[in-house]
Structure 1
Amino acid sequence: MDSQTNDPLLETVEGSTTGHGGSVELERVLSDTETPLMRRFTAASIIEVNLLYKLAAPAVMVYLLNIAMSMSTRIFSGQLGNMELAAASLGNQGIQLFAYGLLLGMGSAVETLCGQAFGASKFDMLGVYLQRSAIVLLVTSIPISMIYVFSKPILLLLGQSPSMASDAALFVYGLIPQVFAYAINFPIQKFLQAQSIVAPSAYISVGTLVVHLILSWVTVYKLGLGLLGASLTLSLSWWIIVVGQFVYILRSDRCKETWTGFNTKAFGGLWDFVKLSSGSAVLVLIAGLLENPQLSLDALSVCTSVNALVFMVSVGFNAAASVRVGNELGAGNPKAAAFSVLTVTTVSFLIALVEATIVLSVRDVISYAFTGGETVANAVSDLCPLLAITIVLNGIQPVLSGVAVGCGWQAYVAYVNVGCYYIVGIPLGFLLGFHFNFGVKGIWSGMIGGTGMQTLILLWSTFRTDWNKEVEKTNKRLNKWEANKETLFKE
């Protein structure tokens, strides 16, 4: 016992599990070849799990709270009637998720660059990256908002009834301000995550959810504004989150070095930012398509709702993975980057196994949380094995996508995702669903086949990576962006 207590390797671990101290200590522990392998592994695991927990736990909470706002809006709309519930669901699933996925994906470009710059201690560049990302996303929001404006004819073109299209369009009109809130919120969120500042966003989201519920009750029921009131309240709530986070950046001592105010340097290198953002957008959009088969069946709706909820846990680990890998690459720690990948993938996979086990254990009753009827319950129970497989795959694939963001591989992973979805997932789903008459189970099995292939390719690509070369690429990328900054400054 005394020898373990006096072990200098384990003694240093306890005080080095945050910030750059944890990163430096992790690399030192992994490089200490004189220490026995198991002791090194134990010490490194303690450091990495602590770093990961402090990032992933608040991030998971933020994403769950954000989805809770949208779900509560649909609940309030549903209390107005079945038509209103259907319209709100159509507006959310058919149009809002497109904007959310596109802008969230483009926002991950700032996650790559901020994470690597923070690891390299180039703190002033984080604020520049934040502003560049916000500019690109705000410009992108203009054509997206036009889709919202013309949502009624678009929905009619897609075969919706005139009454449904009118109600859904009314709901969507109130979401137009939300698009521009997304454009600012996602870069701010990634800017903070890159510095391991996650808890404040969670606190702000908790407070905003409370305000959102109160305001929704007032606007929908007391003021009688109906669907438009519900969606306008949702837009306002997202702007509250944006303002709250930006006020934190301005007032927090933790952001003094990374936010130095607005400047014209943010307008430099925008085209490179657009290219990196575009790769990110395709990555997230295709991942979103893989997760939602868009079939109007009660049983599938229950399963996809459960899947969407537990998927937020994986999204939290996605954010944590990108931050950890980006920080370590920026700091020039190849061993720590590789160990971070191994740790976050393993932890997320084990959590997914637990989630899948729970789903299978309650497969016969899980539908009653959403709707009644033994027929639906039996159908859901029949689909739950596919749901469990999807949950397990989602415990790996989003994390590897987060690793890709941390490394700046968005374009490559986008090609992988597009190929697996269009070349494997869709054709296999149609073949099983229609040719072999397996119906919903066949289509979902095809999606699983595409996701499975995608996961295997990402695993192969990630674990054959030369992390020393990734450090060199990161240095070149940061030097390039630094040169852009200096050129503009001289001008």
Structure 2
Amino acid sequence: MGRGLLECLKQDYKIGLALTTERTIQKIFLIFGFYGKHEDEVKKGTDTCTGHKTPLIFIQLSLEKKMCKPTSSPFTCKCDSNSPYDDMFAPLIPKSPTTNQLQPHINHDPYKTNNKKNHISIFHEVQSISNIAFPMILTGLLLYSRSMISMLFLGQLGGLALAGGSLAIGFANITGYSILSGLAMGMEPICGQAYGAQKYNLLGITLQRSVLLLLLTSLPIALFWVHMKTILLYCGQDKDIATSAQSYLLYSLPDLFSQSLLHPLRIYLRTQSITLPLTCCAIFAILLHIPINFLLVCKLNLGVKGIALSSVWTNFNLVASLIVYILVSGIYKKTWEKVSMECLKGWKSLLDLAIPSCISVCLEWWWYEIMILLCGLLINPKATVASMGILIQTTSLIYIFPSSLSFSVSTRVGNELGARRPGNAKVAAIVGLAGSFILGVIALFFAVTVRNVWAKMFTNDKEILALTSLVLPIIGLCELGNCPQTTGCGVLRGTARPKVGANINLGCFYLVGMPVAVGLSFYAGFDFEGLWLGLLAAQASCMVTMLLVLLHTDWDYEVLRAKELTENSTCSNKQLNEIFLC
């Protein structure tokens, strides 16, 4: 009897040791995201990474088979108890209550079933994101070159035209283009998730709603632009500069219409992973931009008016070429039936996404305009404002790369959530964030390498050269935070959570970055350098906050939200309100 009891205790100890070790490994895997809804495979003795039985499970099965029921022992082994096996695999962080409810409705994640498949899938995800991002980078560079061409022609017209045109462009960005761009992003999660869910008709309806929304928004913007001269004079601007800026904006009014079409069309194509045709259309439009400027500015002598009209003309060329491509290729057939009265319904879901997206974009755009205003209050405003202009152009150039990655990740995450594949969406987010850190390091290396020569392409002024050289390494450090946080914003858009992004931008840029910038510049003696250190503080806090939010994302629950979002045409306003207040 004593010998049997001792033997059973030894058996219990071995079984307990095996289970404890296995539970520890399982929890470590859980922390790094390897365990999820495939715990049932582990319970059966299957390694979710390799598809084979692990040595630890073999030990457990062997012990259960040989020693679970010793005939000489009156005691019962743990493995014979009726307690649920799930208790042995309790996660360190409890799952959302919605997770278990989602399990019967969600496809199993192919990324977690086989280790070899996982590596192949990651490779394919990198390829998928790259196929979207690289054409967008080229498109961004082309559109950036368009603005540079316009500035070169403005510079040829003299100082007054350059000052008036620059003021008008800044005013248009703040009061018009940033708003239209932000509102258009509201359609991105809807179209991305609808495409993944194969609810193609929702893309066409959302496109119609977005165009209508932007056109309606353009009306008060146009009214504001018409009275720009009065506003500028009230703010103390020079009368001649205000008159030149007013002339530029009046001839830019048709651009509000072209932008109201261009932004939704680009998102409509991008959410279907169609980006290369957009690049080809951009090449066509930019090739015509130089001769159009030459005709209007040099031949017809329209001056600032010609610069504004050439930009409008180029945008209409881009819109027309996109529409021609959509019609000729026939991609509209599965997404577009006709102009429907359905576009007048379901605005609740679009506005709940568009307004926070607009706020998020505007908060970031306006930061740089505020920095230019603060430069005018520093010790040497002429040099600091000029250097700030060069540096903002530099950051705009660098921003093309993380923003393109952000758009591609948003598309991939939205498509996978719409297709009810949470694991795939998570992998897309991880791959995108990994790529963003690489971009950040490259941007830092670029900024440090060119710090002594970059400004010489714009000016020979020694003060401006010194200020630019001093701040460029700080900009490189800013990009270490900006690239991941920009990509994180893309993940949030893909999961239809723009409110979170807007709150992060508001808190980090204006409650952290702005006080740091003002304090260092005007009270701590850092002057111009302090403004960029404030931006560094904003970007760093933004990146950390964004990563924390993404780390706690419940991807199974996001699939449920995606399902609800793509079915918004049949949801009541009350149901939609509950969805988007989550």
In the alignment, the residues of structure 1 paired with residue 569 and residue 515 of structure 2 have an alpha-carbon distance, to the nearest angstrom, of: 42
Q: Deviations over 1:333-364 (max 9, x none)?
A: 10110110110111122022112202201211
Whether contact under 8 Å (2:402, 2:439) holds in the other structure is no
In the alignment, the residues of structure 2 paired with residue 85 and residue 93 of structure 1 have an alpha-carbon distance, to the nearest angstrom, of: 12
1:431 aligns with 2:519: yes
Q: Which secondary structure state, in structure 2, belongs to the residue aligned with residue 178 of structure 1?
A: helix
Cα drift, residue 80 of structure 1:
0.8
In the alignment, the residues of structure 2 paired with residue 245 and residue 198 of structure 1 have an alpha-carbon distance, to the nearest angstrom, of: 11
In the alignment, the residues of structure 2 paired with residue 188 and residue 118 of structure 1 have an alpha-carbon distance, to the nearest angstrom, of: 15
In the alignment, the residues of structure 2 paired with residue 372 and residue 41 of structure 1 have an alpha-carbon distance, to the nearest angstrom, of: 54
Cα drift, residue 483 of structure 1:
4.7
Stretch moving more, 369-378 or 185-194: 369-378
1:364 aligns with 2:452: yes
Cα drift, residue 97 of structure 1:
4.6
Give the aligned partner of residue 545 of structure 2.
457
In the alignment, the residues of structure 2 paired with residue 456 and residue 481 of structure 1 have an alpha-carbon distance, to the nearest angstrom, of: 36
1:168 aligns with 2:245: yes
Give the aligned partner of residue 321 of structure 2.
244
Counterpart of 2:155 (choices 78, 100, 104) is 78
Give the aligned partner of residue 477 of structure 1.
565
Cα drift, residue 211 of structure 1:
0.7
Q: Deviations over 1:101-130 (max 9, x none)?
A: 111111111111000000000011100000
Cα drift, residue 286 of structure 1:
1.1
Whether contact under 8 Å (1:106, 1:281) holds in the other structure is yes
Q: Deviations over 1:449-469 (max 9, x none)?
A: 122212211110012101000
Cα drift, residue 235 of structure 1:
0.9
Whether contact under 8 Å (1:120, 1:327) holds in the other structure is yes
Cα drift, residue 290 of structure 1:
3.6
In the alignment, the residues of structure 2 paired with residue 309 and residue 429 of structure 1 have an alpha-carbon distance, to the nearest angstrom, of: 23
Q: What are the equivalent positions in structure 2 for 1:34-73 lying under 5 Å apart?
A: 35-36=114-115, 39-73=116-150
Once superposed, what is the RMSD of the aligned Cα atoms? 1.9
In the alignment, the residues of structure 1 paired with residue 462 and residue 544 of structure 2 have an alpha-carbon distance, to the nearest angstrom, of: 38
What TM-score comes out, normalization by structure 2 length?
A: 0.76
1:442 aligns with 2:519: no
In the alignment, the residues of structure 2 paired with residue 283 and residue 85 of structure 1 have an alpha-carbon distance, to the nearest angstrom, of: 30
Whether contact under 8 Å (2:451, 2:472) holds in the other structure is yes
Cα drift, residue 31 of structure 1:
2.8
Q: Which secondary structure state, in structure 2, belongs to the residue aligned with residue 465 of structure 1?
A: coil
Give the aligned partner of residue 423 of structure 2.
335
Q: How has the CA–CA distance of structure 1 residues 27 and 226 changed in structure 2, closer, same or farther, with 3 Å as cutoff?
A: farther
Letter in 2 for 1:340: A
Give the aligned partner of residue 555 of structure 2.
467
1:321 aligns with 2:409: yes
Give the aligned partner of residue 354 of structure 2.
277
Counterpart of 2:497 (choices 409, 412, 420) is 409
Give the aligned partner of residue 298 of structure 2.
221
Counterpart of 1:420 (choices 503, 508, 516) is 508
Q: Deviations over 1:289-321 (max 9, x none)?
A: 345522352222222211111101111112111
Stretch moving more, 129-138 or 42-51: 42-51
Q: Deviations over 1:34-81 (max 9, x none)?
A: x33xx3442122101110111001112222222322221121111011
Counterpart of 2:398 (choices 301, 307, 310) is 310
Whether contact under 8 Å (1:125, 1:482) holds in the other structure is no
Stretch moving more, 59-68 or 223-232: 59-68
Q: Which secondary structure state, in structure 1, belongs to the residue aligned with residue 420 of structure 2?
A: coil
1:104 aligns with 2:176: no
Letter in 1 for 2:120: A
Counterpart of 2:169 (choices 80, 88, 92) is 92
% identical aligned pairs: 27
Q: Which secondary structure state, in structure 2, belongs to the residue aligned with residue 132 of structure 1?
A: helix
Letter in 2 for 1:46: F
Give the aligned partner of residue 8 of structure 2.
none
Whether contact under 8 Å (1:171, 1:228) holds in the other structure is yes
1:260 aligns with 2:341: no
Letter in 2 for 1:70: S
Letter in 2 for 1:318: S
In the alignment, the residues of structure 1 paired with residue 108 and residue 438 of structure 2 have an alpha-carbon distance, to the nearest angstrom, of: 25
Whether contact under 8 Å (1:283, 1:413) holds in the other structure is yes
Q: Which secondary structure state, in structure 2, belongs to the residue aligned with residue 255 of structure 1?
A: coil
Higher relative contact order (CA 8 A, sep 6+): 1
Stretch moving more, 126-135 or 418-427: 418-427
Stretch moving more, 377-386 or 203-212: 377-386
Give the aligned partner of residue 158 of structure 1.
235
Stretch moving more, 294-303 or 387-396: 294-303
Whether contact under 8 Å (1:360, 1:388) holds in the other structure is yes
Whether contact under 8 Å (1:249, 1:259) holds in the other structure is no
In the alignment, the residues of structure 2 paired with residue 273 and residue 193 of structure 1 have an alpha-carbon distance, to the nearest angstrom, of: 18
Consecutive unaligned residues of structure 2, counting only runs of 5 or more, are: 1-48, 50-106, 376-383, 574-582
Whether contact under 8 Å (2:168, 2:248) holds in the other structure is yes
Consecutive unaligned residues of structure 1, counting only runs of 5 or more, are: 1-8, 10-25, 486-491
In the alignment, the residues of structure 1 paired with residue 415 and residue 362 of structure 2 have an alpha-carbon distance, to the nearest angstrom, of: 25
In the alignment, the residues of structure 1 paired with residue 299 and residue 347 of structure 2 have an alpha-carbon distance, to the nearest angstrom, of: 46
Cα drift, residue 94 of structure 1:
2.5
Letter in 1 for 2:190: L
1:114 aligns with 2:191: yes
Give the aligned partner of residue 112 of structure 2.
31
In the alignment, the residues of structure 1 paired with residue 368 and residue 472 of structure 2 have an alpha-carbon distance, to the nearest angstrom, of: 15
Letter in 2 for 1:443: L
Counterpart of 2:220 (choices 143, 158, 167) is 143
Counterpart of 2:289 (choices 206, 212, 219) is 212
Stretch moving more, 221-230 or 376-385: 376-385
Give the aligned partner of residue 6 of structure 1.
none
Higher Rg of the two aligned structures = 2
Stretch moving more, 118-127 or 384-393: 384-393
Q: Which secondary structure state, in structure 2, belongs to the residue aligned with residue 254 of structure 1?
A: coil
Q: Which secondary structure state, in structure 1, belongs to the residue aligned with residue 553 of structure 2?
A: coil
In the alignment, the residues of structure 2 paired with residue 202 and residue 210 of structure 1 have an alpha-carbon distance, to the nearest angstrom, of: 12
In the alignment, the residues of structure 1 paired with residue 207 and residue 108 of structure 2 have an alpha-carbon distance, to the nearest angstrom, of: 28
Q: Which secondary structure state, in structure 2, belongs to the residue aligned with residue 395 of structure 1?
A: helix
In the alignment, the residues of structure 1 paired with residue 144 and residue 343 of structure 2 have an alpha-carbon distance, to the nearest angstrom, of: 31
Q: Deviations over 1:246-269 (max 9, x none)?
A: 222222233320122211111111
In the alignment, the residues of structure 1 paired with residue 398 and residue 551 of structure 2 have an alpha-carbon distance, to the nearest angstrom, of: 26
In the alignment, the residues of structure 1 paired with residue 406 and residue 479 of structure 2 have an alpha-carbon distance, to the nearest angstrom, of: 14
Cα drift, residue 374 of structure 1:
3.1
Q: How has the CA–CA distance of structure 1 residues 27 and 344 changed in structure 2, closer, same or farther, with 3 Å as cutoff?
A: farther
Whether contact under 8 Å (2:349, 2:565) holds in the other structure is no
Q: Which secondary structure state, in structure 1, belongs to the residue aligned with residue 459 of structure 2?
A: coil
In the alignment, the residues of structure 2 paired with residue 291 and residue 338 of structure 1 have an alpha-carbon distance, to the nearest angstrom, of: 32
Cα drift, residue 393 of structure 1:
1.8
Whether contact under 8 Å (1:119, 1:327) holds in the other structure is yes
Equivalenced residue count is 457
In the alignment, the residues of structure 2 paired with residue 247 and residue 138 of structure 1 have an alpha-carbon distance, to the nearest angstrom, of: 21
